[in-house]
Structure 1
Amino acid sequence: MGPVFVTDGWRRKALAVVRSLGRAGIRVVVGDTGPIPFAALSRYCGGRARYPSPSTSPDKFAVWLAGHLEQGGYRVCMPLDDDTLEVVLHCRHRLPASVALPFVGQEAFLLARDKASTFELATVLGVPCPATVVPGGPEDLDGVSGQLRFPVLVKPRRSLGSRGIRYVATPEELPRAYLDVHRRFPRPIVQECLPRSGPGLGVSALFNSESELRAVFVHRRIREFPLSGGPSTCRVSVEEPELAETAVRLLKALRWIGVAMVEFKVDLRDGVTKFLEINPRFWGSLPLAIAAGVDFPLLLYRLATEGDVEPVRSYEVGLLGISEYGDLLHLIRGREKGKILRSLLSLDRRTVRLDTLAWDDPLPFFGYPLTRLIGRLARR
């Protein structure tokens, strides 16, 4: 089995990829812009590399990557972040032909990153969405307030986690909030704000080169951090066949290849589960899917090297995945500390899976705070 180059090693999902492939006997080299990628602390990491920033120096990164892949004799390249994957797809023709890149083409990827385009696609397919308006710019805000129920969110068109999102309570606040976001992220969308307490759900999927479904997994969010909206810190594996079918329908319309995760949220006002966005790459809650029996990184590797895999049709339901440091922050900052603490203490340990701490690979858990600090200092 040929080696794999994994980018964005400071991400927790990189650790999940490294462990998945490393435990299968595949050599994994981890790359990042910082000196000590978090995932490189794993015993399953076979090497590390430092590269120019794909976000600020995309051309330098592309040149570096082409040379590194050629010299390293890699079989597969797995970019993990949106910005990195976008640059890699753009320079795909410059990379060694011997290195497999098991991801969708650039056009479909860019469409999936664009919230305005994906909401338009969802509407055409009859998938419920929050009411959304896409102004052409600040000059087109007249009349927007009359089309939406407040409060609303002003969101960058591209998914950036919670970055750039502005909460707007009244119509009077909208022009200034929109302009603030527009200056950093041109032509954002304006969307009604769903009740925060409605549960979020994620449908993760894998497609082969013919856009045929090969694996699907559904999780429900329980807690997240930041509290205002961010990555899940606690989530549970669930069965939602109809929701999974909806997500697959969206991705098939894009002729999807590789992995993606589609996010939904239940609107407590009408009980309807509504589409939020497509994450066109690996996602943060990946460790739970692997623990439940859907080993997306290994399946993707096998798709890249063997051409196809047998479909994974089932997984363990009721497993709880916890991001240890993130859930601790939620507990510290949250208003229901006692309730959350009691629920944690009463958990059946047989159903709990931790994102980072593993007895056969403990160093990443203990080294995580230090690598985060070093990474932030290096990026200044």
Structure 2
Amino acid sequence: MSKRAHARESVLVPSGNYTCVRSLGERGVHTVMASEHDDTPAASSRFCDELVRIPAPKDDLVAYKDALVGIAARPDVKTIIPTRPEDGYVFSKYLDEFEQYVDLVVPDFETLRRVHDRKLLYEAAVEAGVPMPRTRLFSEIAAFDKPSIIKPRYNVVAGEYVDSYDPHEYDIVKSVRHVRPGDRPDADEIYAEMKHDPIVQDYVPTEDKYMFAALYDHGEPLATFQHLQIRGNSYTGGGGVYRTSVYDPELEAVARKLLGHIDWHGLACIEYLKDAETGEFKLIEINPRMWQSLPSTVRAGADFPYYYWLQATGQKHRIEPGYELGVGTHYLWGELGYVMSVRRDDSPLVERPSFVKTVWEVASSIYREPRFDLARLDDPVPFARYVHHAVFNRGGDEAEAESTGDRDRGGDESEEPRTGITLTPGLNFRGR
């Protein structure tokens, strides 16, 4: 039953992405959430108008696509926001089917392939003249002569990329291994874990970790955003759980150079590491969808769900890019995970911090900047539902995945590091 029956134009959000629903619901857009769960926390938001049950993409990717196309055929639905890791693949691969009914802001499939395939992405970075860690196939490595990272070649392991997958199946592989010079990882174990021939990247001694987000129109930026990641899911790395909005002109220039070179179209979430030895911003990966830390982006004033809506509905001239600097936000469950990682995680390449100092830093930063991804006083039920899920049902990571739409989350922009020996402004801005 619609809460705003007078709304005539609808947006489809194919997940429990609370921030997308809130952003567009606040602006009077009728919000239709599509999920395989009846109890996703975001569905209890006062900004969610409808919840439609669909097959889980993990069960059958084609059935998931068909269900979204069926909802898109409704005359009130104008666009679909890519929020899940698999959405970029599905929307670009089946773009002709979707565009019979709605307008999507996504790259063509060949451009998407250059981004999903990290080996091709490295070649594109070399062509564009922007820094990226040396990237090779695991099968090409005879011996490890420097610190390295083994990680999946593809953001989405699917039939168009790996022959052993049929159109109905795919995997989001998040495994990452840190390797020291002289190590000899078991090849059969690596292939079984990664489910394809992965890549090896040179390890980057990191001064800082950044996210650069953008919305592009065929090679031209409509809006951009940057944040500095202060803490990740683990002390060894992972997606941001405490971040602050920043603007660095060098990062802006490097990112735009790459996206312009590949004639990018749509959303881009890019992870960068600042090399502690060279000072360069080194590209790690690009995701063509909304990102885990989207709540912090919108809190700083960069309303990308609304920007996407405007572009998809022929109103890109109404986009007013810009954001406030120095706005820090927290993902609370992730902060707890960071603290626990100091006890349980290990890496041969990253020094373990003091547990007492870590607890103090987390607590004091929350006190200084009490801004949170889901906890909102004017819409409290989704956070309460999320806490219930986290404590009694599926655990914090899966509950958060429902709320962000990233059900295979292993990080904001990157893979979740494994424990043990294995691991990984806008066009204008306002001063705070």
TM-score band by shorter chain is 0.7 to 0.9
Task: After superposing the two structures, state which structure 1 stretch, 333-342 or 88-97, moved more.
Answer: 333-342
In the other structure, the counterpart of 2:141 is: 141
Which letter maps to 1:358? R
User: Which blocks of at least 5 consecutive residues in structure 1 are unaligned?
Assistant: none
Q: Distance in 1 between the 2:102 and 2:279 partners?
A: 46
Map Cα deviations across residues 245-297 of structure 1 (whole Å, 9 max, x no partner): 21111112222122111111122233332111111111111112111111100
Aligned partner of 2:198 among 188, 205, 210: 188
Compute the displacement of 1:181 (Å): 2.9
Structure 2 partner of 1:80: 83
- How many correspondences in the alignment? 364
Find the counterpart in structure 2 of residue 95 from structure 1. Answer: 98
- What's the CA shift for 1:189? 0.7
Q: C-alpha offsets along residues 63-89 of structure 1, whole Å, 9 cap, x if unaligned?
A: 222222224731111121221331232
| Cα separation, 2, equivalents of 1:227 and 1:207 | 33
**1:123-147 CA-partner distances (Å, limit 9, x unpaired):** 1222122232224x3xx332x534x
Cα distance in 2, alignment partners of residues 108 and 60 from structure 1:
24
Question: Secondary structure of the residue that 2:272 maps to in structure 1?
Answer: strand
Secondary structure, in 3 states, of the residue corresponding to 1:353?
Answer: coil
**In the TM superposition, what is the alpha-carbon distance from 1:347 to its structure 2 partner?**
4.7
**Conserved? CA contact 2:124–2:262, under 8 Å:** no
Deviations 1:82-136 (A, max 9, x none): 213312322222236231212222221222111111111111222122232224x
Quote how far apart the aligned CAs of 1:238 are. Answer: 0.7
C-alpha RMSD of the superposition: 2.6
Q: Cα distance 1:369–1:244, how it changes in 2: closer, same or farther (>3 A)?
A: same
Whether the 8 Å CA contact 2:41–2:383 is kept in 1: the answer is: no
Change (3 A) 1:63 1:348: closer
Deviation at 1:215, TM superposition (A): 0.7
Is 1:171 aligned to 2:171, yes or no?
no
2:376 aligned with 1:368? no
1:8 equivalent in alignment to 2:9: no
Cα separation, 2, equivalents of 1:284 and 1:360:
22
Contact 1:29 1:49 (8 Å CA) reproduced: yes
| Aligned equivalents of 1:258, 1:51: Cα separation in 2 | 25
1:159 counterpart = 2:168? no
- Greater helix share, 1 or 2? 1
Compared with structure 1, are the counterparts of its residues 348 and 357 closer, same or farther at alpha carbon in structure 2 (3 Å cutoff)? closer
Match of 1:108 in 2: 111
1:357 aligns with 2:364: no
- Please give the alpha-carbon distance, in whole angstroms, between the structure 2 residues aligned to 1:246 and 1:304: 26
TM-score scaled by length of structure 1: 0.87
Matching of residue 202 in structure 1 with residue 211 in structure 2: yes
Following TM superposition, by how much is the alpha carbon of 1:367 offset from its aligned partner in structure 2, in angstroms? 1.3
Please report how far the alpha carbon of residue 339 of structure 1 lies from its aligned counterpart in structure 2 after TM superposition.
Answer: 3.0
Q: Give the conservation status (yes or no) of the 8 Å contact 1:114–1:159.
A: yes
Please state whether the residue corresponding to 2:87 is helix, strand or coil. helix
Equivalent-residue separation in structure 1 for 2:297 and 2:69 (angstroms): 31
Per the alignment, residue 416 of structure 2 pairs with: none
The 3-state SS of whatever aligns with 2:38 is: coil
Gaps of 5+ in 2: 1-7, 157-171, 343-352, 408-432
* Distance 1:162-1:61 versus aligned 2 partners, 3 A rule: closer
Q: Relative to structure 1, is the Cα distance of residues 8 and 173 closer, same or farther in structure 2, using a 3 angstrom cutoff?
A: farther
The aligned residue for residue 339 of structure 1 is 357
Contact 1:31–1:37 (CA under 8 A) maintained in structure 2: no
Amino acid at match of 2:149: L
1:165–1:181 CA contact under 8 A, matched in 2: no
Change (3 A) 1:80 1:313: closer
Letter aligned with residue 219 of structure 1: H
Amino acid at match of 1:202: M
Amino acid across the alignment from 1:159: N
The letter for the 1-side match of 2:357 is K
Identity %: 28
Give the superposition deviation at 1:343: 3.9
Give the counterpart letter for 2:211 in structure 1. Answer: G
Alpha-carbon distance change, 181 to 39 in structure 1, aligned in 2, over 3 angstroms: farther
Ranked by relative contact order (alpha carbons within 8 Å, sequence separation 6 or more), the top structure is 2
2: CA distance, partners of 1:37 / 1:94: 28
